Amino acid sequence: TVVFLNGRFINEDEAMISPFDRGFTFGEGVYEVCISVGGKIIDLEEHLARLDRSLNAAGITLPPERSLMPGLMHDLLERNGIKNGFIYIQVTPGKTVRNFIASPTERSTLLMSTGPTPLEESNAYKHGMRVQVIPDIRWGRRDIKTTMLMPQVMAKRAALDAGFDDVIFYDDLGITEGSSSNVFMVTNEGELVTRPVSHQILSGCTRNTVIELTEQNGMTVTERPITRDDLLQAKEIFLTSSTYLVVPVVELELDGKSKIYSCEKTKKIQNIYMEYLNK
């Protein structure tokens, strides 16, 4: 597969990154994942705007190709023969001596790669997920989309080992988000709810689009904290992300209790979102 690394399209075997890149030595880095549907990159500007926000918050210099990125992303998809798939973007500070506060003197490292994604054919999209609700052990700036993903990897692995498909995290205020998705619930009264954005969750591009689309379709989304008890009382729960799209949670485990959910409204929102993707 062809990757884009620091200004060049090269074969993955030829890609070289310094062992002193702070992405490697300090785990400093931010990323984005976008999908392409029929060659169109979904919410491209929103993803790049979030990349800029993550870079600024993390104090990482924007890569010199920043303004060319939309074109480069399309070019990379084409070079890899991908119409329906994902594009991964990662930016790390570049190399310095191994000192916490050293500033790089050269460019930041920009890596972009692509891959196929099953989208709506996926089992989870059709049949939903079984999810475990667990404490959020991540840091206090979850609005920064950092490559520092050990807590998510560990949580997801443990959930899979226990026979679940994914996790939903909670903190003192209630539900934060999924391991790589945002959480919505439909209450018994039919109210659509998701947690407001803050430093505690990632402002999901899919989340924000789903809020817009549902409102265009006569539904209102209330942005307020969701407690664990709210989840147990809810009628439906669904997760959103660029790669999941809109995925129903059909079963959930929380403090040893388990609950089954329907997905009537979720299916409606899936269809609205799919229409948006194929527009």
Residues with catalytic function? 145
- Applying CB under 6 A, among 60, 87, 111, 205 the residue interacting with ligand PMP is 205
Count H helices and E strands in the chain, helices first.
8, 15
4-43 footprint of ligand PMP as x/- string (CB under 6 A): -----------------------------x----------
Closest CB 202 distance from ligand PMP, rounded Å: 4
202 lies in the site for ligand PMP, by CB under 6 A = yes
CA nearest to 136, candidates 123, 154, 151: 151
Pairing mode, strands 236-241 and 245-254: antiparallel
Task: Indicate if the alpha-carbon torsion angle 144, 149, 150, 155 is positive or negative.
Answer: positive
Only segment of 75-83, 88-96, 235-243, 269-277 that touches ligand PMP (CB under 6 A): 235-243
Least distance between ligand PMP and beta carbon 7 (Å): 26
Nearest CA to 259 out of 249, 270, 251, 269 is that of 251
When asked if residue 240 is in the footprint of ligand PMP (CB under 6 A), the reply is yes
CA distance 45 to 29: 20
CB-CB contact of 192 with 184 (8 Å): yes
Which span (67-75, 119-127, 174-182, 260-268) binds ligand PMP, by CB under 6 A? 174-182
* Smallest distance from ligand PMP to CB 87, Å: 12
Least distance from ligand PMP to the Cβ atom of residue 19, Å: 27
Report the alpha-carbon angle 101-104-105, nearest 5.
Answer: 135
The footprint of ligand PMP (CB under 6 A) covers 33, 177, 180-182, 202, 204-207, 240-242
